[in-house]
A and B are shown apart, each in its own frame.
Chain A
Amino acid sequence: MQSALPAGSLPRRTPKRVLPGFNITLGFTLFYLSVIVLIPLSALFFKTFTLTWAQFASAVSSPRVVASYQLTFGASFLAALVNAVFGLLLAWVLVRYQFPGKKLVDALVDLPFALPTAVAGISLTALLASNGWVGSLLEPYGISLAFNRNGVVIALIFIGLPFVVRTVQPVLEDAEKELEEAAACLGASRWQTFRHVIFPTIAPALLTGFAMAFARAIGEYGSVIFIAGNMPMVSEITPLIIIGKLEQYDYAGATAVAVVMLGFSFVMLLVINALQAWQRKRAGASS
C-alpha cells in the first residue's frame, strides 16, 4: 500500500513538466517584469487619474502639442516609407547579388542599432549643417537639411534603417526559386514575376519592418533633438514636449502627453504582433 501511493500519483506528474525549474523561472520572470516594467508603467496611468478630464484634454490638445503630433507622426511615416523602399532594395541586393564589399555592407546595416542615438544626432548635424560635408554642397541650391523638419526626417531614416532590411532579408532567402522559374517558363517578364510572385511573398515582412521602423521613429528622442532645431510649433517632436513639461515641473501635463504616446505604443505593438502572425501563416502556407 505504501509503494502504491507514489506510483499512483506518477502519471499526473509526467505530462509535459518533467524538467525542473518551472515555478522558479516563471516566478522570477513575473517578479522582475512587474518591478521593472508593469508597476512603473501603471504609475503613469494612476497619475493620469489625478487629472480631471478637462485638464487632461487641454494638456494633450494644446496647439503646440498638436503641432508636435503632426510633426512626429508625419516625419516618422515619411522616414518609414523611405526605409521601406531602400530597405527592400538593400535586402534584395544583399540576398540576390554578389559584389565586392557585400559582407561589410551587411554588417554595417546594423550600425543604427549599435551606435548611440546621441552620437548619430551630433554626427548627422555636423554633416548637414551649412558648414558640413553635405550641407555645404547643398547650400548653394537653397536646400537646408539641418535645424528644420527635413533634419527630423533624416535622423529618423537613420535610426529606422535596419528594421526593414532585417525583416525582409530572411524571407527573401527562404523564398522558393522554383516559383520564379515557373513564372518565367509561363512567359512572365522579370518585372511581372517580381510584382505577382516575389512581392506577395515578402509583403507581410515588408509591412512588419515598416511598422517597426514607424513605431521606433515615433518614440525617438536622442538623434532628433540635435538636428531638429526644436522650434515650438515647427520642429518640436512630442518626446521633447514631455521633457519640456518635466523641466517646468508640470508632471501632470507631461504624464498626459506620455499616456497618449504610450497608448499609441500599445496599438503599434498589437499591429506588429498581428503582422508577424500573418507572416508566419504565409510562411507556413508556402512551405
Chain B
Amino acid sequence: MSSPSHTVRRARAGTTEPAWVKWTLIGVALAFVFLFLLLPLAAVFTEALRKGVPAFLEAFQEPDAWSAIRLTLITAAIAVPLNLVFGVAAAWAIAKYEFRGKAFLTTLVDLPFSVSPVVAGLIYVLMFGAHGWFGPWLQAHDVKIIFAVPGIVLATIFVTFPFIARELIPLMQAQGTEEEQAAQVLGASGWQTFWHVTLPNIKWGLIYGVILCNARAMGEFGAVSVVSGHIRGQTNTMPLHVEILYNEYQSVAAFAVASLLALLALVTLVIKSFVEWQFDRLEKAAAALPPEPVPQSVPV
C-alpha cells in the first residue's frame, strides 16, 4: 500500500517548483494586485471620507447629484432590457441553427467591443446631431436626441451591445438542441419550449451577462460624454457628474459619487463570483452523473 503513494509523491516533485520559487511568484503576484487593484479601490473610499461623514453626505444633498443618479438608473433600465432581448434572440438564431454567414454575424455582434467609446459617441452625433443626417429633420420636428437623454441611451446601448449575446451564444451552442427538440415532439409550442426548457438552462449565463452589461451601462463615460453635452441636472450621468465635480476641485464630492459607482462594481463582482460558483456546482453535478466524466469548459 505504501509504494504507490510514494511514487505519486515522487512524480509530483518533478512537476512543481521549489518552495522559494512558488512563494516568490505568489508574493510578486500579490504585490501587483495590491498596487494596481486594491490600492485604487481603497483610495476611492478614503478620498470620499477624507473630511468625514458629514462632508461625504453633503455630496448627496445636491439636486444635481440626484438627477445624475436618476438618469444613470433610467439609462440602464432601458439599455439593459433591450440588449437582453437582443442577446437572447441572437443566441437563439446563432446557436440553434446552421446558416451561411454565421461566423461573420458572430463577429459583427462583437464589433462594438473593439470600437473606441469616443468613436461610438461620434457616430450618433453624425447621425442625429445638428449637422448630421437626420439633424435638420429632427430640428424641424423639435426632437432632441444629441445633448439629450435619447442620445445617452443610444450610446449606452451601443457600448453594452455584445455583453449578453456573447455570454449566451457559447452556452447555448454547448447545450445543443436535443432538449428543445424533445419538447417540440411532446407538443410544446415554441414559446413554451423557450420558457420551460431553454430559459432554465441558460438562467445563470443570462444573469452573468445582465450584471456585466448593467455595470458597464451605469459606468460608461467616453461614449456618453460625447453625446451628453454636460448639461447639469439634465444630461449628466453619474460618471459625468464625477468628472464635473473633480474638474471643479470638489474632490470629496467627486469621490463620494464615485464611491457609489465603486460599490456598484463590488456588488457586480460578488454576484459574478456567486454565478461562477453556481456554474462550477452544476458542472460537477453533471460530471458526476455519466459513467465517464467529460468536463466541459466553463462558459466564461
Does more than half of chain B's interface fall in helix, strand or loop, or is it mixed? helix
Q: Are B243 and A118 within 8 A (Cβ)?
A: yes
Q: Are A119 and B258 within 8 A (Cβ)?
A: yes
Give 1 or 0 for each of B103-134: 1 = CB within 8 Å of chain A CB.
Answer: 00101111110111111001111110101110
Q: Please tell me the number of chain A residues within 8 Å of chain B, measured between CB atoms.
A: 95
Q: Are A219 and B119 within 8 A (Cβ)?
A: yes
Asked whether any CB of chain B lies closer than 8 Å to the CB of A90, the reply is yes
Question: For the complex, what is the distance from the CA of A134 to the CA of B189, rounded to whole Å?
Answer: 62
Q: Please tell me the number of chain B residues within 8 Å of chain A, measured between CB atoms.
A: 105
Give 1 or 0 for each of A74-101: 1 = CB within 8 Å of chain B CB.
Answer: 0000000000001001101100110101
With A111-B37, A116-B239, A265-B115 known to touch, is A166 a contact of B300 (CB < 8 Å)? yes
With A36-B161, A107-B269, A262-B115 known to touch, is A221 a contact of B40 (CB < 8 Å)? no
Give 1 or 0 for each of A13-55: 1 = CB within 8 Å of chain B CB.
Answer: 0001111111011101110110011111101101100000000
Mark out the residues of chain A between 83 and 134 whose CB falls within 8 Å of any chain B CB in the assembled complex: 86, 89-90, 92-93, 96-97, 99, 101, 103, 105-120, 122-124, 126-127, 132-134
Contact of B133 among A43, A105, A254 (CB under 8 A): A43
Asked whether any CB of chain B lies closer than 8 Å to the CB of A158, the reply is yes
* Closest-CB distance, A152 to chain B (whole angstroms): 15
Contact of A37 among B16, B112, B238, B297 (CB under 8 A): B112
With A19-B181, A134-B39 known to touch, is A116 a contact of B265 (CB < 8 Å)? yes
Give 1 or 0 for each of B31-45: 1 = CB within 8 Å of chain A CB.
Answer: 011011111110110
* Closest-CB distance, B101 to chain A (whole angstroms): 10
Asked whether any CB of chain A lies closer than 8 Å to the CB of B164, the reply is no
Q: Are A19 and B97 within 8 A (Cβ)?
A: yes
Question: For the complex, what is the distance from the CA of A149 to the CA of B105, rounded to whole Å?
Answer: 38
Q: Which of B56-64, B199-207, B215-223, B282-290 contacts A (4 or more CB under 8 A)?
A: B215-223
Give the residue among B109, B122, B190 with the most A Cβ atoms within 10 A.
B122
Contact of B221 among A20, A117, A170 (CB under 8 A): A117
Asked whether any CB of chain B lies closer than 8 Å to the CB of A278, the reply is no
* Closest-CB distance, B100 to chain A (whole angstroms): 12
Asked whether any CB of chain A lies closer than 8 Å to the CB of B54, the reply is no
Asked whether any CB of chain B lies closer than 8 Å to the CB of A70, the reply is no
Q: Are A43 and B132 within 8 A (Cβ)?
A: yes
Q: Are B15 and A193 within 8 A (Cβ)?
A: yes
Contact of B14 among A114, A115, A181, A242 (CB under 8 A): A181
Chain A residues with CB below 8 A from B70, complex form: none
Question: For the complex, what is the distance from the CA of A226 to the CA of B251, rounded to whole Å?
Answer: 13
Question: For the complex, what is the distance from the CA of A39 to the CA of B251, rounded to whole Å?
Answer: 40
* Closest-CB distance, A185 to chain B (whole angstroms): 7
Chain B residues with CB below 8 A from A119, complex form: 44, 219, 239, 242, 258, 261-262, 265
With A25-B93, A222-B239 known to touch, is A33 a contact of B109 (CB < 8 Å)? yes
Asked whether any CB of chain A lies closer than 8 Å to the CB of B225, the reply is yes
Asked whether any CB of chain B lies closer than 8 Å to the CB of A258, the reply is yes
Chain A residues with CB below 8 A from B268, complex form: 114
With A22-B97, A36-B158, A226-B246 known to touch, is A118 a contact of B239 (CB < 8 Å)? yes
Asked whether any CB of chain B lies closer than 8 Å to the CB of A60, the reply is no
Chain A residues with CB below 8 A from B114, complex form: 215, 219, 265-266, 268-269, 272
Q: Are A246 and B122 within 8 A (Cβ)?
A: yes
Chain A residues with CB below 8 A from B80, complex form: none
Asked whether any CB of chain B lies closer than 8 Å to the CB of A151, the reply is no
Q: Are A110 and B109 within 8 A (Cβ)?
A: no
Asked whether any CB of chain A lies closer than 8 Å to the CB of B89, the reply is yes
Asked whether any CB of chain B lies closer than 8 Å to the CB of A177, the reply is yes
Contact of A115 among B85, B99, B131, B265 (CB under 8 A): B265
With A184-B15, A219-B115 known to touch, is A16 a contact of B29 (CB < 8 Å)? no
With A44-B126, A219-B118 known to touch, is A19 a contact of B177 (CB < 8 Å)? yes
With A19-B181, A116-B219, A269-B111 known to touch, is A221 a contact of B15 (CB < 8 Å)? no
Asked whether any CB of chain B lies closer than 8 Å to the CB of A234, the reply is no
Contact surface of A with B, Cβ cutoff 8 Å = 16-22, 24-26, 28-30, 32-33, 36-41, 43-44, 46-47, 86, 89-90, 92-93, 96-97, 99, 101, 103, 105-120, 122-124, 126-127, 132-134, 157-158, 161, 166, 170, 174, 177, 180-181, 184-185, 190, 193, 215, 218-222, 226, 239, 242-243, 246, 251, 254-255, 258, 261-262, 265-266, 268-269, 272-273
Contact surface of B with A, Cβ cutoff 8 Å = 11, 14-18, 21-22, 25-26, 28-30, 32-33, 35-41, 43-44, 47, 82, 85-86, 89-90, 92-94, 96-99, 105, 107-112, 114-119, 122-127, 129, 131-133, 154, 157-158, 161, 177, 180-181, 184, 189-190, 193-194, 212, 215-216, 218-222, 225-226, 238-240, 242-243, 246, 251, 254-255, 258, 261-262, 264-266, 268-270, 272-273, 297-298, 300
Closest 7 CB pairs of A and B: A116-B219, A184-B14, A219-B116, A222-B221, A221-B222, A20-B190, A114-B265
**Could you pull out 18 A-B pairs where Cβ atoms are within 8 angstroms?**
A17-B97, A19-B177, A24-B89, A25-B89, A86-B32, A108-B37, A108-B269, A111-B265, A113-B212, A114-B268, A115-B261, A116-B221, A116-B238, A119-B219, A127-B40, A190-B18, A221-B116, A251-B131
